[in-house]
Every structure is written in structure tokens, then in C-alpha cells.
Structure 1
Amino acid sequence: MSEIYQVSPWYDTEEWNRVYNDIFGVTSTLTTKKNALDQLFIWKARCPSLPSGIEATISLLNIHIQDQGRHYDICNDHVLRLAYSSALMRFVNVMFDKETKKGLSLFQAADTFGIPEWIIDLRHNTAHSNIVPHIELLREASVISLDWLQKNYWDKHKSCISDYIVGSVHIETEIEKKITSLMNFCVSLSICSHPKCNIKNLAEITDIHLRESLVNDAKEVCEDLDFSNLKIISIDTLGNILNIQAKKILIDEASSSYVNRALLSNESAFISIEILKSLDYIGYTTDKPLNTEYVQCFTGLLSFLFTYDLLKDFVLELIKVTQSEHENSVKCKLAAKWVSVILKALKNNQQFMEKIYKADTDIMSKDEKELKSLYYHWYPNYKKRTLFLDLHKSIPREFTNINFIQPIISTYNPYLVLFIRDLLTLVRPQLSDSVKTKICKLAKVIASPEKFPVMSPKIYTSDDLDPANNLDSINESKHYEDVKIMEVQMESKNKVDKDGSKQKFGVWQLASKNASWATCPIGQLPWTQLTNEPMESQ
């Protein structure tokens, strides 16, 4: 998902409102303004680049508090006037910098936003004249500027500022609601398009819940469609409606994120463990591939994602599910199996396109049925493939780039073994079989840490998966005997304290108390220093 967040210097809305009330509230006093200024300085420490309105407020409020506090022992009249002048200059500059960049003068910008012209004159006199404005004039300008900031910055933000709580209920935007409805419709239509169902129109759907679900989803996507006679609404018609609406809705930059969120939510049928269990009761918890009957329920959905270039991001989100430590293990395994199925389907397209390129065959004039027939002609051994995508399209180029998939295969993931070979097969230039085999073996090592004790001194590689080297076949006593020998060898190298006692910290021991560290050169240990021998005279 791709969402944009902005870091704010205030802890929450309550803190922001407290500062506002301390400065501009009806009960505001010099003491509350001092408290507000202290809080503004805390915001400045948290976030050095504050909004222009807050920066200007700090400058004006700071000198206002100094003046009201009558700190003339450290701030005489001339210095006070200079401070006021500097604060007003900063206020004008930071608040109207964007306007002057557009080509407006400061006077034009001030007139547009309701700042008195004489305050701009004060700013110019301060910047370009040798005469510092009178203190009473500066005080009046400061009060007017703070009032302007209250109305044009603080009050406007007060009406819209709110807290964002991580983990709170997600509020869908209008476009996200449309995309969610579209994907629910696509999933329902995909299930009803299962080859074994042989459904021609809505009236032929015997399962009442499935029929109602499809009709409700279709109504949300297309409100103008009349559902009074279900016999005349065919599955093909609904498919056409799906594509028409998709071209209208899937135009937002965040469409891919919304699609993934809809399909991988707990309410989605695609990742539903209950549906998987009902169609594959025996194999749903094992490492066996997804069976054909189950995969065909979502063939239409995956074809839809591939057609609208949404499949790559969807596969990456499925991989994130497999990497999550907080997801149910069955759900992670289901996601990994789906990744394998999709990657195998992409492999179909890849090898078909490569064959087409070599044969110099025109495929644009052929329909999908003709292309699939041609594929089977070239690859008769692959007739058992359960999922075919649009053979007119090439696969996402990212999956052919070893640098792109490197983070995927190098991240700890116990379910990586279920799809890593399918991923490596897509890489171009092709990896050798030996390299792919070794990478797959390493993935298996990572996926089965229980077979490789953490306390063992041995560094394991893919060769340890070889039955001849498998730990299960190694005599356990021999293993611990080797460890014991290693410990004895390490102990023989350590110094013993005067009292003969040792304190062990893993493979480390305390140094001797007699060690003379002060006389030890950098890079040496006290007990390893070489004896200084006089050099032979030449």
C-alpha cells in the first residue's frame, strides 16, 4: 500500500488546542502565553522546520512576552525595538514568501490577504532604513499581526485538525468504496464462472446465497441494471459490465493498493480458509499444491488482474502475507501456494512469448482459444496446467530481474520454499539448474530451523540437506563429542586467575587480574607481547 503521512510536532489534538487557548483563548494571560511559548519551542525541537504560521507566531509571541514582562534590565528600549522589527520582518517574509515567488510584490500580497499596508512599510523601513520605528507603532503592528495569524492560520487549522490513531478502524474514501465493490463483484462473478458450474445466467445459480451475493455486488457496481428478470442477465453480460466499470474506476494512482486491500481482507473469499477447506479438505494444511477445482474458482479474478496490470503488485502483497509473523500459518501457506500458482501461469506466458518471438508468429489476429491450442501444440506435456492468463500479454518485467527478486529470496520466510523455484524460473538471463537447486536448498534450510540446533558450532549450508549429510543420520553422541573437544581446546588457551577460578561468558573468559594493560601497545594483548630484544648493531 502506498499512503502519505505527515509528521506533526504536536503529540495530539489536545496538545495543539491547549497551545491555541493559551495564546488566543478568552482566559489567556501572560503566564499562559509563556507556557504556550515553551510548548512551541518544544515543537521546534521535535521538528526544526515548522509551518510558516507557527514560525511567525513564535517570533511575535516571544518579543511580546519580553515586552509585557518589562525585562528592561536585560533589554533596553532600543534593543526591544530591534527585536520587534526583526519579528515583524520575519512574519512578513515567511507568510508571503510563496506569493512573492509567484511574481507579486509584498504590497500586493499583503493587500490580497488583508495585511495593512503600513505594516509592510514598517518592514521596509526596518530592512532598508537607518531609523528604527517607534516602539508604540511596533507594538501595534505586532498585535495586529498576531490577530491575523489567529484568523488566517490557527482558526483555519483548528476546524480541521484531528488525530490519526494507528490501528484504528480504517475509513474508506469514495473511490476505495467503489474499487472494493468492483473487486467483490469480480470475485463473485469468478466463482460463478467455474467450468463445472456451467452457468449461463443468474437464474441458473442454484445456491441462493451465492446468487444473492452476486446480484448485490452487481447492483453496487452498476445501479442502472434491472434485476427483475434474472433469466435475461447472462454471466457474459455481467463480465462486460465488469470491464466497462473497471475502465472508469481503476484510474486512481492508489487503485492497486485498494484492490489488494479488498482482496486480502479477512472478509475476502479469495484468501478464505473456509472456502479452501471446503474444496480441499485433505490438502489445505499440507504443502501440496492447490487443487484444480479450487484454483478455477478464481481464474476469472486473476485474469482480470493480469489484464489491468494489477497482478504484479498483488503477487508482492501475497508474498508480504507469507512473510508476516502475525498471520495465521494456514493463511500464510495459502498465500504462498497462490504465489506459486500465479508464477506458474506467468511462466506459461513467458515461454509462449519466447517461442512466438523465435517463430515470428503473429498472435494479435488470434483469439485466446486459438492461442491456447497453439500453446498445447508446442508444449503438449503442460496440458495439466490449472491456470492460464491472457497469452497476448507479456509478464511483468520485474519478475525477470534478479535484482528485483533478490530481497524476496533473501528475506527470512519459512513459506518461501513453496514458490521460490517458480520465481527463479522466470529470471532472465536464465539461472543454471545447479544455482537454482542450491538456492532452493538454502531456502529449505531456513524453513526448517528445528533440524539445525542453534547451539551447534557447525555452519550449515545446502549440502547438509543431502541425505548422506543429514543431521538426522549423524550419531548424536559424535556431534556432542565434537562440541566438547572444541570447548576443551578453547579452555586450554585461556589464562587462569591466581585463585584458579574462571568466569565464562559464552566463548569468552575474564582476563587475568595480573594483566598490565597500561604498558600494552595498541593492537596487542598483555600476555601476547613480544619480548623486547636489543637490535644488533650494524
Structure 2
Amino acid sequence: MSQSCQIVPWFKSKEWFEVYEKIYSSPSLKSKQEALEILLVWKARCPSLPAGIESTLGLLEVHIQDSTQVNEKLLRLAYATAMMRFVNHMLDAEIAKGASLHQAAKVSDVPDWIIDLRHDTAHNNVLPSLEILREASLIGLEWLNNNYWSKHRDYIKDFVSGHKEINSTDENKISVLINFCTTLSICASPSCKIKNVSEIADNNMREAIINDAQDLFANSMDFSNLKTVSIVSLVNTLNINAKRLLKSKNTPALVNKALTSEDSLFLSSDLLHYLCETDFYVKGKLSFQYVQCFEVLLTFLQTNDLLMDFVQDLIKFTNEENDSEKRKLAALWVSETLQALKKSVLFSHKIKGSDPDQTRNKKRNELKLLYKHWFPNEKRSGLLLDVHKGVPSEWMDIKFIQPIISAYNPYLIYFIKPLLDLVEPSVSKINIEKICNLAKIISTPESGPAHSIKVYTIEDLQSSQTSRIVAQGQDPDSDCMEICEEEILENTTVCEEEFQTGIWQRASTNYNWSLCPVGILPWQIRIKH
């Protein structure tokens, strides 16, 4: 078990917060009585309670007794005992260091007169008055709220056996790393025409890159002369240190969290409106200039085997987030990424057919030039990732993507075709077209054919007939309506007779309806011999 974990008397953290709320958030005596009962259960579970809880139990118990106890002498004795134990428990740590009670009280911010009250209780023949003891008790409970309950509430957590908690240091480090990589990716975009750090026009972006680089790489980079620090050198330094910076077991989850956070530039509405507004809203796609801003980032994720986890997280994002603009943006990024992976597959097949060793021996920039030479029409057609890396086999398996394409998602239409294009063996174009059309109908039901009126009962038929008469401008209370009702009853009688003696028959329960194709009845399936 982790050394930061401790055995406690409460069953789970929710129980601790329940007691805290009942004592300090609710004014009712009933809530405080319920809190006391739970505290007594804790005392039974663990006779040696934490000092803050032990003192709270004593003061709360006498506070509740005061609402029902009529014997003033017993009340004063109970209050005095509870206050004495409160002072002893809460100042014990300071006294152990050699401080006097008054010195300990001053350090702990306990009023001096509370110490004097304790002295009178312990040594005088007469106990303090009930009014003073009540006031002291309320001050003691408030002190416990400020110095025990409020201070500990941020640290009360459940420990799950076998579960390793995310280290906040790892989370902060990866958040800085992803922010640095994202900002660097924007600066590295060809459209920005930035060669070194000094050419970054935005002061905030320049300072962010410098600060993040110093946090990540310590003193390994010299920023004394920004004209000598190139963007390319920062990208190379990032790639060299990637494994060291991404060694946390929770890396995929932390990376995805950083990229989809409110502060991330990846799904930033401001950047989208600045670079891609017309394409996004009018054409329903991402502009080439906008996509290039994140090529370094997505290539970094792909090289470090984080890209496909991120794509899967983006797909979840499209189905869970409330912001429709961000959901659409995430869906378009899924589409762009999957299309880029398909390009890598096509290029990989072509290069292996000509020379299997070329992929391993050539650098990425050389392969990129070769790709543009072989596919000249693809120069301005979106994202191009690292062709050294292949596509994970599960993303090429129809069984793996089946839950994605079969689940309701209004943004599925943006990336279902690129998803199906990755499948091997490949799905036929006709089937892809049918699946895409089905996804469009499901995601945009308003664009499909108008719903016909469903008639299951006589009341449904009567309602339909009334609607037709009103649409024709006739009075629904007229003689015409009475004639229609008679026709409905006659037709219903005929239908019931036909059902009993005519062509209608009950379907047999022996058929396996789940294996029956849509539009075909079980007994219409031809058995192949």
C-alpha cells in the first residue's frame, strides 16, 4: 500500500464529507444529531480518533445535550470537560515542543481566555458559568472547522487497491509539453514563415515557448540570443527528449486531457475563426493553412504512438461535449487524421513495391519529397504524417470500428468514410456509399422523407381522418365526420373478421428473426442445398 495512504475510521470519503456538511452547513439540530451518530460509529471502529475529530465529537455531544438536558450543573460539568479535552488535544503538538499553554495557544490562534477557562475548570472549586462555557464551545467548534475540517477536505480521497493515482507532477509536465508542442507546431507552419524564435511577432507566444522550453529542457538550451534559436532546432530537441518526457504510465490520458482542455489551442475557437472560418462554416472542412498549423503536433503524437488513442478520444468528444462547434471541429480533425493515415498506407504500399529498404533508409523529409513527387496532386490536400509509421492493425479491422460506426453520433457523417477507407480487406465502394447514406439519415433525420401517419388503433384512424377533414376546410363536427366514423367502424369489423378467418395468420415462434435480413420474412429465405 502507498505510504501516503492511511487507515481511517470512515468507510469512504463520501462519509467524511457527509459528517462535515451536517455539522457546519446545516443549522438543524437533527443534522447535527445524525453527524454525532456517525462520529460515534467511527469511535467504535477506531478508539483512537484523529485529534480534530475527537475534539469535535466531545464538543458536538455536549452541544446536543444542551438542547435536552435541564440539569445545569451536569451541563456545566460536560461543557467544562469537553473544553478541557479540546485544549489538551489541539495544543498537544506545540506543548510537546516545550511551549507553555499560552505560547501554544498564540501559535495556534486559540484565544487566551479559552486557556484561562481551562485553568479555572481544572483548578478552581467553582466551574465557569454556563453562558461562558457555551460561548467557548461554539468558538472551539469554529476553530476546529478552520484548522481541521476545512484544511483536510482537499486531501480526503478514496484509495482503490491496485489503482495507481495520476501524479500531479506528471500531469503538469505533460500539460506543459503539449502546450509547447502545440505552440511550436503553429510557429513551424510554412504559412507563418518563422525561422527562429526572434521572428515570433506575438510577445505572449514567444515568451510561452521560451518558458516552456526552459521548464522541459532545463538549461540545455541557450536563449540569450533568440536569433540563433531556430524553430527547427526546437522541434528536433522536442523529438529527442520525447521518450524521457512521456514515460508516465498515464501518458495517453494526460495527453488527451491537455489537448481537449479549454486552454488548448488545438480546439480553440479563436484560432479556428482566424484561420479557417469560411472553410469550416461554409464548406464544412478545415483549410489547408489551418491543418498545417498542427502537422508537427500530430506527427509528434504519431511518432510516439499516441495518435490513435487521441483519435479515439476525439470521437468520444464528438458524442459527449455540449459545444456543437467544438464537436464539429473534433469530427473534422478525426477525418483529416484518418485521411492522412490512408495516404501513409498508400505511400507505404507503393514504396515497398519499388524498394522495400527505402522506407527504413530515407529520412522523413526525403520521404516527404518522394511522396510529393509520386502524388503531385496531393501537395495542398491536407495533412501529411510520418510515413515511417504504419497504422495500428485494430484500426484496419472492421470489428474494431463497428461499435464506432453503429453508435448514434450526429457528427459521424464527417469521418465515417475515412474510417471505412482504412479497413483491410477493403470495403466495396457501393457498401461504403450505402453505410455513409445510412449514417447521414440517422444523424440528420430532418433531411429524410416526411414521416407517415402511423395507424395502430381505431383512435389513430379517427385522428388521421379528422386531420384530413380539417385540412380540406370542413367542419369536424359536420355530417361528413359522422359518415367517416361509420366507414371506419365498418372497415374495422371487416379487418377483425379477416384476421380471424381470412389471410392473416400468427407468425410461428420457431423462426430466428434475428438472422432474418431486413425486408425478408423468415419463410421467404431460400435454403441453399
Query: TM class, shorter-chain normalised?
Result: 0.5 to 0.7
TM-score (norm 2): 0.56
Matching residue's letter, 2:388: H
Aligned to 2:236, the other structure's residue is in SS state: helix
TM-score, with length taken from structure 1: 0.55
Q: Does structure 2 retain, via aligned residues, the 8 Å contact 1:179–1:250?
A: yes
2:15 to 6, 12, 17: 12
Question: What does residue 203 of structure 1 align with?
Answer: 198
> Residue 171 of structure 1: CA displacement?
9.5
**Shift in alpha-carbon separation, 1:330–1:365, aligned structure 2, 3 A:** same
CA distance in 2, matches of 1:171, 1:207: 34
Q: Does 1:256 align with 2:252?
A: yes
The structural deviation recorded for 1:302 is 0.6
Contact 2:408/2:442 (8 A) holds in 1:
yes
Q: Give the secondary structure class of the aligned counterpart of 2:278.
A: coil
After superposition, what is the alpha-carbon deviation per residue over 1:317-336, rounded to whole angstroms, capped at 9, x for unaligned?
11111112x42111111111
Match of 1:353 among 348, 354, 358: 348
Q: Indicate conservation of the 8 Å contact 2:17/2:153, yes or no.
A: no
1:455 Cα deviation after fit:
5.3
Is the counterpart of residue 245 in structure 1 residue 227 in structure 2? no
CA contact (8 A) 2:174 2:254 kept: yes
Alignment of 1:314-329 (within 5 A): 314-324=310-320, 326-329=321-324
Q: What are the within-5 Å matches in structure 2 for residues 214-233 of structure 1?
A: 214-224=209-219, 225-233=221-229
CA distance in 1, matches of 2:317, 2:235: 29
Amino acid across the alignment from 2:362:
K
**How far apart are the structure 2 equivalents of 1:10 and 1:16?**
10
Equivalenced residues, count: 335
Residues 490, 9 of structure 1: CA spacing in aligned structure 2 closer, same or farther, 3 A cutoff? farther
TM alignment of 1:106-505, pairs within 5 A? 162-163=156-157, 173-224=168-219, 225-324=221-320, 326-362=321-357, 363-452=359-448, 456=452
Change in 2 beyond 3 A, CA 1:231/1:379: closer
Q: Deviations over 1:215-260 (max 9, x none)?
A: 2222221231332221222212212321233211211121011011
Partner SS, residue 346 of structure 1: helix
How far apart in 2 are the matches of 1:304 and 1:269?
A: 16
* Residues 4-53 of structure 1: per-residue CA shift (max 9 Å, x gap): xxx966742145799xxxxxxxxxxxx99x9669969xxxxxxxxxxxx8
Find the residue that maps to 2:273 and give its secondary structure.
helix
Confirm or deny: 8 A CA contact 1:287 1:418 kept in the other structure: no
- Tell me by how many angstroms 1:412 deviates: 1.1
CA distance in 2, matches of 1:14, 1:211: 45
Deviations 1:316-364 (A, max 9, x none): 111111112x421111111111111111110011112222343353121
Give the drift of 1:407.
1.1
Answer whether contact 2:188 2:232 (CA < 8 A) is retained. Answer: no
Higher deviation after alignment, 399-408 or 286-295: 286-295
Alignment CA distance shift 1:273-1:159 (3 Å): closer
Which secondary structure state, in structure 2, belongs to the residue aligned with residue 284 of structure 1?
Answer: helix
Provide the rounded CA distance (Å) in 2 between the counterparts of 1:438 and 1:214: 47
Quick one: which amino acid aligns to residue 16 of structure 2? T
Higher mean Cα deviation, 411-420 or 448-457? 448-457
Task: Give the RMSD, CA atoms, in angstroms.
Answer: 3.8
Distance 2:489 2:426 in 1: 50
Deviation string, structure 1 residues 368-411 (Cα, Å, up to 9, x no partner): 23323333344344333221111111112221011111111111
Residues 52-67 of structure 1 aligned to structure 2 (within 5 Å) = none
In the TM superposition, 1:63-82 aligns within 5 A as: none
Cα contact 1:321–1:327 (8 A) shared by 2: no
Runs (5+) with no aligned partner, structure 1 = 1-6, 19-30, 41-52, 55-157, 165-169, 459-475, 482-486, 497-522, 524-538
CA distance, structure 2, for counterparts of residue 399 and residue 387 of structure 1: 18
Q: Residue 344 of structure 1 contacts residue 422 of structure 1 at CA under 8 Å; is this kept in 2?
A: yes
Within 2, Cα distance between the matches of 1:396 and 1:355?
A: 19
Q: Which moved more, 1:286-295 or 1:416-425?
A: 286-295
Contact 2:13 2:157 in 1 (8 A): no
Cα distance in 2 between the residues matched to 1:261 and 1:243 = 21
Tell me: CA distance 1:433–1:201, structure 2 relative to 1, closer, same or farther (3 Å).
Answer: same
The answer as to whether partners of 1:417 and 1:440 remain within 8 angstroms in 2 is: yes
Aligned residue type for 2:293? C
SS in 2 for 1:370: helix
Question: Where in structure 2 are the equivalents of 1:15-94 lying within 5 Å?
Answer: none
Q: Which amino acid aligns with 1:301?
A: L
Letter in 2 for 1:337: L
Per the TM alignment, residue 495 of structure 1 is displaced from its structure 2 partner at its CA by: 7.8
Q: Secondary structure at the match of 1:280?
A: helix
Cα distance in 1 for partners of 2:453, 2:245 equals: 58
**1:285 and 1:330 in contact (8 A); partners too:** no
Contact 1:12 1:163 in 2 (8 A): no
How far apart, in 2, do the equivalents of 1:271 and 1:197 lie? 19
Residue 291 (structure 1) shift: 0.6
Aligned counterparts of 2:228 and 2:155: Cα–Cα separation in 1: 51
Where in structure 2 are there 5+ consecutive unaligned residues? Answer: 1-9, 22-32, 47-151, 159-164, 455-466, 473-484, 495-508, 510-529
Distance 1:491 1:214, change over 3 A: farther
